Amino acid sequence: MLTRRERRIVRMNNRQTTPPSRHVEQSYVQDVSELASKKVSVCITAYNTASYIEECLDSVANQTWFSFTDNYDILLGIDGCEKTLEKVKSIMNKYKNLRVFFSENNVGTYIMTNTLMSMSDSDFLIRFDSDDVMYPKMVETLVKQIKGNDIVRFRLQNFPIRTTETTYGQIIMTKECFENYGGYMPWRCEADANLLTRVGVNGRIKKIPDILFKRRIHSEALTRKKDTGYRSSERMKNKEYTRLNATKKPVIDMVTTSVIEIS
């Protein structure tokens, strides 16, 4: 069950932005203008999520921050899944600033994430999953928190199970941080925790208490599948590698894949 404080945060993040009061309006506009000069990429990987992808993209398109600025793009990487590709083709014209890429081979979410982020020319990169749903102020909140940091972590609300936790996979980071550390390990699972450990050696990672999106719990989720779930041998092996090596070798060689842009 959510605590009273967590329920209040969820309600706040579901609301649209309240206009600033008159005496702070000038300062507010100046701050927003400065932040809006920084480009943001929302990087989403998709595999077997044809049933969820439209709700995910709707939640991204309806971000309050995108009413302030057009200086953003949505980079969607479909990871070898024809069914998801066909669904996206049927709806992609709904969305502004959306670019869609397809990999003929299923390479995994982290190699696809590396590929999308490598192609981005943005200052800030947000990693998100195609079966999840953003609250309206997620991007706005993160853009305002990233200044002076390499990565910002926040909180999520699971559904239909009503629990909350701090994010590992969904983060905002600077493009400089991504390039300096070599992105994600080319693993099927646990590469998000590995990145946080490596950046944590010398980098600046901030945690905020805001609950900014809903994470969908279902049997095909990476953390629930037999071969990549929390108790899988693959995840345990990667955890051990991180424990032994991440702080010794925080910078890695980035692995990407070839993709086709869909128009």
Q: Round to whole Å and give the CA distance between 243 and 193.
A: 10
153 burial level (CB within 10 Å; 0-12, 13-18, 19+):
buried
Higher-confidence residue of 21 and 161: namely 161
Q: Round to whole Å and give the CA distance between 13 and 82.
A: 34
Extract the tokens encoding 85.
């590709």
Q: What is the DSSP letter of 23?
A: G
User: Is the overall model pTM greater than 0.85, yes or no?
Assistant: yes
Residue 110's contacts (CB-CB under 8 Å, 6 or more residues apart) are 183, 184, 185, 186, 187, 188, 191, 192
Is 54 part of a structural domain of the chain? yes
Domain housing 145 = 4-13+36-252
> According to the model, what pLDDT value does residue 78 have?
98
Is 28 part of a structural domain of the chain? no
- From the list 158, 217, 225, the residue with the least C-alpha distance to 189 is 225
Domain count, the chain: 1
Is 171 part of a structural domain of the chain? yes
> According to the model, what pLDDT value does residue 26 have?
53
What percentage of the chain reaches a pLDDT higher than 90?
Answer: 81
Is 18 part of a structural domain of the chain? no
CATH number at residue 109: 3.90.550.10
HSE-up (13 A, CA, CB side) for residue 118: 19
The pLDDT tens digits of the residues spanning 222-240 come to 888 889 999 999 999 999 9
Is 112 part of a structural domain of the chain? yes
For residues 161-197, b (16+ Cβ closer than 10 Å) or e, as one string? Answer: eeebeebbbbbbbbbebbeebbbbbbbbbbbbbbbbb
> According to the model, what pLDDT value does residue 15 have?
54
Is 20 part of a structural domain of the chain? no
The pLDDT tens digits of the residues spanning 136-181 come to 999 999 999 999 999 999 999 999 988 999 999 999 999 999 999 9
Q: Please, which residues bridge with residue 79 across strands?
A: 103
Look at the alpha carbons of 145, 146, 150, 152 in this order and tell me if their dihedral is positive or negative.
positive
pLDDT band at 132 (very low <50, low <70, confident <90, very high): very high
The residue behind tokens 């943001």 is 40
Q: What is the mean pLDDT of residues 49-60?
A: 98
The pLDDT tens digits of the residues spanning 61-82 come to 999 999 989 999 999 999 999 9
Q: Round to whole Å and give the CA distance between 77 and 57.
A: 13
> According to the model, what pLDDT value does residue 34 have?
83
Is 217 part of a structural domain of the chain? yes
Q: Is the pLDDT of residue 5 over 90?
A: no
- From the list 94, 100, 40, the residue with the least C-alpha distance to 71 is 40
The pLDDT tens digits of the residues spanning 112-129 come to 999 999 999 999 999 999
pLDDT band at 10 (very low <50, low <70, confident <90, very high): low
- What is the CA angle 119-125-130, rounded to 5? 90
Residue 69's contacts (CB-CB under 8 Å, 6 or more residues apart) are 36
- From the list 253, 233, 248, 132, the residue with the least C-alpha distance to 182 is 253
Is 72 part of a structural domain of the chain? yes
